[in-house]
Amino acid sequence: MRIAIDLGGTNVRVASVAPGGKVVRVLVEPSLSTGSEGEVLEQLYRLIDDLMSPEVDGIGIGVPSVVDTEQGIVYNVVGIPSWKEVHLKDLLEKRYHVRVAVDNDCNCFALGVTRFGKDGPHKEAFCATLGTGVGGSLVVDGHLYRGRNAGAGEIGSIPYLDKDYEYYCSSRFFVGKGTTGKDTAIAAAGGDPKALAIMDEFGSHIGKLVQMIMFAYDPSVIILGGSIAKAFPLYSEPMWRVINEFPYPKSVENLNLYATYLEHPGILGAALLCGEF
């Protein structure tokens, strides 16, 4: 049994995961994002304590930050200002006396979705999360390519138009239009012309994002996840319209691109940080 944690600035999810990727129990609470370093840690401890048992042989945790995966240190956690440098692996191992592994949250998403998602497991894929921001992770030969600081594939910060890809391919795009992704999706599904136009424009930006991924990584599989991926049918047509403008048609023909609806991919990936089980 593993305990897997998805820590974010909005919510913290702590789950017990059985062998084979069966999520047995999930605890979810709003994160104490404005709390001190110690207060956030105490929230984690309390949730882990509730799930800890003699069967647990490891704890995996995904965090939205730069991570020293060898030492298990997280730096400048997005959405939790007090977490500037937290030696998370040491703290958890000293408290629980089991193996602990820490990684970037998008890397955990990639591990989970390539292992347990549609048509999986995938040996090679680029995984992008579309939500509050834009994250990216690269899987090569069945393994994550993390880069030196667990930040490889962070495509959201690459300059695009007058800002960056994150501005145009995340919830920030909809906020800039005076709405939210959820409200736009509901209205577009109901045939609202203004919402449909916003989704069409959003899809064209996602198409440009995919083109950039193809130029940079030339993957055989691209998997989209995150909250905005749930609205994929509403922007897939304009997205593919732009992707089909890619200068190498054979690359487009060979591309397998889909949105995942796998439940708890980040949790499943965090459970895998301590190895297969």
212: nearest Cα among 173, 172, 239: 239
pLDDT at 276: 85
Q: Taking the CB of residue 151, how many other CB atoms lie within 10 A of it? A: 18
Q: What is the C-alpha to C-alpha distance for residues 75 and 94, in angstroms, rounded to an integer? A: 20
Do 105 and 99 contact (CB within 8 A), yes or no? no
Lookup: tokens for 46: 């309390």
**What letter represents residue 163's amino acid?**
K
pLDDT at 89: 98
Mean pLDDT score of the chain, rounded to an integer? 95
Q: What is the C-alpha to C-alpha distance for residues 244 and 75, in angstroms, rounded to an integer? A: 39
3-state secondary structure of 96: helix
pTM attached to this predicted model: 0.91
The contacts found for 135-139 with CB under 8 angstroms, 24 or more apart, are 135/64, 135/104, 135/105, 135/106, 135/109, 135/226, 136/106, 136/213, 137/104, 137/106, 137/107, 137/109, 137/110, 138/110, 138/217, 138/219, 139/110, 139/111, 139/114
35 HSE (CA, 13 A, CB side):
14
* Percent of all residues in the chain with a pLDDT value above 90, rounded to a whole number: 87
**Would the pLDDT of 168 be above 80?**
yes
pLDDT at 146: 87
Going by pLDDT thresholds of 50, 70 and 90, the confidence category of residue 96 is: very high
Segment 2-26, tens digit of pLDDT: 999 999 888 999 999 999 999 999 9
Segment 112-156, tens digit of pLDDT: 999 998 887 999 999 999 988 899 999 999 899 988 776 789 899
**Bond from prior residue into 159 cis (ω within 30 degrees of 0):** no
Rounded to the nearest 10°, the torsion over CA 240, 242, 244, 245 is 180
**Would the pLDDT of 277 be above 90?**
no
Segment 60-83, tens digit of pLDDT: 999 998 899 999 999 999 889 999
pLDDT at 148: 78
Q: What is the C-alpha to C-alpha distance for residues 14 and 133, in angstroms, rounded to an integer? A: 22
Residue range 31-53: mean pLDDT, rounded: 96
Residue range 257-267: mean pLDDT, rounded: 95
Residue range 28-43: mean pLDDT, rounded: 95
272: nearest Cα among 137, 168, 86, 133: 137
Segment 192-238, tens digit of pLDDT: 999 999 999 999 999 999 999 999 999 999 999 999 999 999 999 99
